[in-house]
Structure 1
Amino acid sequence: MDATISKFQPYALSLMRFMIGLVLLQYGIAKLFKFPAGTMFDKVTISSLPGIAGCIELVFGALLLIGLFTRPVAFVLSGLMACAYFIGHSGKAFFPLLNGGTLAIALCFVCLYIATAGGGPISADAAMKKN
C-alpha cells in the first residue's frame, strides 16, 4: 500500500500548496477589501501592521496558489506566520489553543515545508522548467 500511495505524493504536494495559497489569499482579501463583510478585519487599514501583512498575504498567497517562485515565497510566508504568532497571539496565553494562534503555527510550518519541498509537478515553476 505504501508504494501505491507514495506515487501520489508529488501531486498531493501541489494540491497542498494550492490550498495553502488559497487560505492565505483569502486572509489578504479579507484584510484589504473587507470581503466577506462582517469579518474580524473590518477595522484594518492598509498602513497598519495587519494591513501590511494583508498585502503580503494577498500577493504571496496568489503566487503560492499558482506555484510561481514557490520556494522563496513560501519561506517569506513562513516567516510572516511566525511573526503573526509571536506578535498577535503568544502574549495572550501560553498555549496556542487558548491564544488563537493554532492556525498561524500550522501555516508557518506548512509554508516552511513547501519552501523545502518546492511547488510540485502542477505549478508554474514546474511548467517553466519544462521549457
Structure 2
Amino acid sequence: MEQINKMLGAGEPMVRSIFRIITGLLMFQYGVAKLLKFPAGTIFEKVEPFSMFGFAGMFELTLGGLLILGLFTRPVAFILCGEMAFAYFIEHFPRNFIPLLNGGNLAIMFCFACLYLACAGGGPWSLDAIMRGKR
C-alpha cells in the first residue's frame, strides 16, 4: 500500500495543476455563456449584463481565465469560492434544502473546488509558480 501511495503521490502537483485548469475552464464556460451568449440555446440567453447573473458572469469570465492561467490563483479561487457559495444560497437553497432537489450540486462542487485551490495553490504548471521561480 505504501508503494501505491508513493507512486500516486508523486503526481499530485501536476494533477493539482490539471484540476485548476479544468476548474477554470468550467468557470470560464459559464461566463462565456452568460455574457457572450455562446453556445446558443443555453438557459443564460436572457441574462442582462448588469443583472446579478451578469455580474456573476463577469466574475466567472475574468477570474475563470486567471484560474486557467494560474495567475493569482489563491485570491482568485477564494473569490470564486465565495461567489459559488453566494450563488448556492441565493439561487438554489430557497427552492429546497436538499441539493439534489434544488439543482445546486454544481455550485457546491465549484465552491469546494475553489476552496481547495485557495488553500493548496495552483500547482507547478501555473504563472504563479513561474513568477516565483519554482517551476
TM-score, L = length of structure 1: 0.99
Q: 1:96 aligns with which of 94, 99, 107?
A: 99
RMSD between aligned residues: 0.8
Aligned length: 131
User: 2:124 corresponds to which residue?
Assistant: 121
User: 1:39 corresponds to which residue?
Assistant: 42
User: 2:54 corresponds to which residue?
Assistant: 51
Q: Which of structure 1's runs of 4+ aligned residues deviate more than 6 A?
A: none
Is there any run of 5+ residues in structure 2 with no aligned partner, and where?
Answer: none
User: 2:21 corresponds to which residue?
Assistant: 18
1:57-91 Cα offsets, whole Å, 9 max, x none, are 00000000010000000000000000000001000
C-alpha distance in structure 2 between counterparts of 1:56 and 1:94, whole Å = 26
Percent identity between matched residues is 55
User: 2:32 corresponds to which residue?
Assistant: 29
Is there any run of 5+ residues in structure 1 with no aligned partner, and where?
Answer: none
- Matched to 1:72, the amino acid is P
C-alpha distance in structure 2 between counterparts of 1:103 and 1:49, whole Å = 18
TM-score, L = length of structure 2: 0.96
What's the CA shift for 1:14? 0.3
C-alpha distance in structure 1 between counterparts of 2:133 and 2:123, whole Å = 13
What's the CA shift for 1:102? 0.3
User: 1:72 corresponds to which residue?
Assistant: 75
